[in-house]
Structure 1
């Protein structure tokens, strides 16, 4: 059985491509906290590449941006390709099949024609306030971590 379920935060607005016959593909990195502390007492995160398609991609791009907390279910897939220097590179990613929006943040890209409207329900307002103190880890990953929920 190849099934994965993840909950984490989108690290930057999803990248969008149109593939054959107008079907949308979106990809992004999901920061997922580990369930244990490291030797320094901090919680580390794994950064997992996710690809989604079709209606799921459309809705995710429309409602989610950097910092959105989402749940993703799907399958792990691997692929390989040959680099310019003729070495073989391997990629492992999650092919997302279902995305659940837990705390949404408006995409920051002004160019998105599907950007979320400014209307927000009281549940959205409450959810956004829970994430006010969220910060993505820096590139050096030294002491910054993602919040545990």
Structure 2
């Protein structure tokens, strides 16, 4: 059996960060996923709730915003509870174990993409989702020329 989900889409609102009574971070946000067809010429979308936990939750709350493009990997979970009226309510959501930020924090919607794992990993400037100190810098600017690295800098 396999329960695996991969979604690439935009956030419909800013993530909500909360803490459990035990102090564990949990973040909830919703993703809008376009359907591959139209109904009567109108494009439709599904709005999928996502939940992240612990360090990933805090990282998502700090760096994701409404409209940002993100890739989410996780599993589908269905839970239920009784509401105030005594009715059973079923909730289907994605429990994410990996989130990749596909736009840099200072880029607007639809801007170029960068990627980094949302598990607290960072590169250069400490911001997940960006490469190096300047996210606008071209990583291929050396145009294939050899890089001068001494043998002491190599880890092997």
TM-score of the superposed pair, with normalisation by structure 1: 0.67
**Which ranges of structure 2 fall in alignment gaps of 5 or more residues?**
107-126, 128-132, 138-156
Which string of whole-angstrom CA distances, capped at 9 and with x for unpartnered residues, describes residues 1-55 of structure 1? Answer: 11111111111110001225533110001111112222x2232110000000112
How many residues get paired?
Answer: 111
Question: Using CA pairs below 8 Å that are at least 6 residues apart, which structure has the higher relative contact order?
Answer: 1
Cα RMSD, aligned residues only: 1.9
Report what 2:95 is aligned to. Answer: 95
Quick check: 2:104–2:135 contact (8 Å CA) kept in 1? no
TM-score of the superposed pair, with normalisation by structure 2: 0.64
Quick check: 1:9–1:32 contact (8 Å CA) kept in 2? yes
Q: How does 1:39-118 map to 2 (within 5 A)?
A: 40-105=40-105
**Which ranges of structure 1 fall in alignment gaps of 5 or more residues?**
107-115, 124-149
| CA radius of gyration, larger in | 2
More helix by share: 1
Secondary structure (helix, strand or coil) at the match of 2:99 reads: strand
